[in-house]
Amino acid sequence: MLRSRAMTRFADKRALVTGVTSGLGRAIAERLVKEGAKVAITGRRSDRLEEAASALSEHGEVRAFVADHTSHEDNLRVIGGVVEAFGGLDLLVNNAGAIGFDGALDPKPEVWSKLMSVNVEAVYDLTCLATPHLVAAANEGRGANVVMVSSVASFRPYPGLLAYCTSKAALDMMTQVLAMELAPSGVRVNAINPGVVVTELHRASGMDDAAYDAFLERGRNTHPLGRVGTPDEVAALVAFLASDEAGWITGDRVSIDGGRALTSLR
């Protein structure tokens, strides 16, 4: 009975998930489509996006849009395409993001610029374009909402991650301001704050296999539960926050980090 209800939580819902060529985005999109949603997915790499769309389409209706969300024109095209395909938009999951390594003792202005553009400005632009459609859905009683994929680094400082921590902290504040602004319209906005999860994010930042393996091994000590997370665990939390079961939750930052935010810097 519980399984049956969970599998239909998003029946007739229309969702857009960004950054779906791998990792968290792929798991989130799969969870939503398996639970009945019509899902639009985006990514910058056309070959990877085509592969993801083909796999996800086995579970339901999926539309794919090659897009770089730092481009206003791409964002206009994506939102227009989603609304044309599905007739509207009920859920936006801002998952696409980037990480980079920098600090005041090792300044890298190009890293700062990239992370602010990808993690903050792109999310701002896409969300603002999506908002009128989310408000329209809420006015129809469809339970419209936004879920931001932030990070434990938004409220815990990590040396060498100056731009990343700052960008994710900005994303958290964006979440809370949007929640206040859109609450009267019935649109909820929440963020999730993962610890280390096994994805391609760190490899994409330049880590080689040996460094990444060492990083994951260290995660056994930096996360009190003794392990790093999985994309499926994060996807389950996103699905809950996006569902009507979380209909009285807005403006929250929900940690899913194996207890990492509880620890002192080490």
pLDDT digits (tens, 9 = 90+) for 88-134: 999 999 999 999 999 999 999 999 999 999 999 999 999 999 999 99
Task: State phi, psi for 100 to the nearest 5 degrees.
Answer: -160, 165
Distance between CA atoms of 48 and 37, rounded to whole angstroms? 21
Look up the CATH superfamily of 2-255. Answer: NAD(P)-binding Rossmann-like Domain (3.40.50.720)
Q: What is the pLDDT of residue 212?
A: 58
How many percent of the chain have pLDDT more than 90? 84
pLDDT interval class at 216 (50, 70, 90): low
Q: Is 158 a catalytic residue?
A: no
pLDDT interval class at 198 (50, 70, 90): confident
* pLDDT tens by residue, 125-169: 999 999 999 999 999 999 999 999 999 999 999 999 999 999 999
- List 124, 158, 164, 212, catalytic entry: 164
- Helix (H) or strand (E) run with residue 75 in it: helix 72-86
* Whole-angstrom Cα Rg for the chain: 18
Residue 130 is classified by DSSP as: H
- The strand pairing partners of 207, in sequence order, are none
Distance between CA atoms of 56 and 74, rounded to whole angstroms? 22
Closest among 48, 87, 91 to 67, alpha carbons compared: 48
- Helix (H) or strand (E) run with residue 15 in it: strand 14-17
Question: Which tokens hold the place of 56?
Answer: 């996800």
- Average pLDDT of the chain? 92
The model's pTM: 0.92
**Mean pLDDT over residues 78-84, rounded?**
98
Locate the DSSP E strands across 23-112: 38-43, 62-66, 91-94
**Mean pLDDT over residues 28-36, rounded?**
98
Closest among 201, 229, 206 to 19, alpha carbons compared: 201
